[in-house]
Amino acid sequence: MKCVLLAAGFATRLYPLTLHTPKPLLEVGGKTILDRLMEKLEEIPSLDEVILVSNGKFFSNFIQWAANYATSRKITVLNDGAMDNDQRLGAVADLEFAIRVRNIEEDTLVLAGDNLFDFSLKAFVDFFHSKGADCVTTHIVEDPEQLKRTGVILINPEGKVLEFEEKPKHPKSTLAVPPIYLYRQDTLPLFKTYLEEGNNPDAPGNFIPWLLQRKEVYAYFFQGKRYDIGTPASLEEARRAFGFERN
């Protein structure tokens, strides 16, 4: 199994903190966001490579991080070439870039480099194998404003995803979907098809409604907290939550 870590954004809403430091390398409770994500990935025995997609501006930052991070997993850092926010490829395009450049032909876990969570990725992988289908993660969010900033799904009693909408103006349920997905190896070529058809290359959730017309997708329910770090307020919330780990 491979993991693609999407970390090519410019995090302009966090300026000036992210003018010279990529968001995944910001500190939360004494560790970087990226270090905390890697700790979660260590739970997956079958994972042999983490492929991090960076932009051109912060490529050297991630290369230096990878050189100093101790892990038995292979870490590959890719440069998508974008040097500023106007040049960004978009998350779906970055994922397709990683699949193409690394010639990925294995089941693939996709994570955004700015989300922290406290559920087990191993449990998600086990669920994925039990379903034999592409899977998303989901949890209940009661706040309508928060639901408008994430993916929202409708499911049937078996957990099969019936509808998915990215950042809906009028959410149809309280089932939020963070950017934590597992794709079967035979799904990976579809990212190229999706982009060639002229579909939205930006937020990673945009691919899911298109995929639902072609394949079954199941939702894995998780318990616990999830922090989507995109603004100074959300960063401070995560820092307060993980503050107990500070020395």
Q: Walk along the chain (247 residues) and give the pLDDT tens digit of each residue.
A: 999 999 999 988 889 989 999 999 999 999 999 999 999 999 999 999 999 999 999 999 999 999 999 998 999 999 999 999 889 999 999 999 999 999 999 999 999 999 999 899 999 999 999 999 999 999 999 989 889 888 999 999 999 999 999 989 999 999 999 999 999 999 999 999 999 999 999 988 899 999 999 999 999 999 888 888 989 999 999 999 887 544 4
State which amino acid sits at residue 165. E
DSSP character at residue 187: G
123 contacts 137 by C-beta, under 8 angstroms: no
User: Would you call 25 helix, strand, or coil by DSSP?
Assistant: helix
Q: Which of 78, 82, 109 is nearest to 182 (CA)?
A: 109
- Where are the extended beta strands (E) located within 24-117? 27-28, 31-32, 49-54, 74-79, 108-112, 115-117
Which residue do the tokens 């409708």 mark? 154
CA distance linking residue 117 with residue 178, whole number of Å:
10
141 contacts 221 by C-beta, under 8 angstroms: no
Which residue do the tokens 């098809």 mark? 193
State which amino acid sits at residue 232. P
Question: In this structure, are strands 108-112 and 2-7 parallel, antiparallel, or unpaired?
Answer: parallel
Looking at CATH, the fold of the domain delimited by 2-245 is given as: Spore Coat Polysaccharide Biosynthesis Protein SpsA; Chain A (3.90.550)
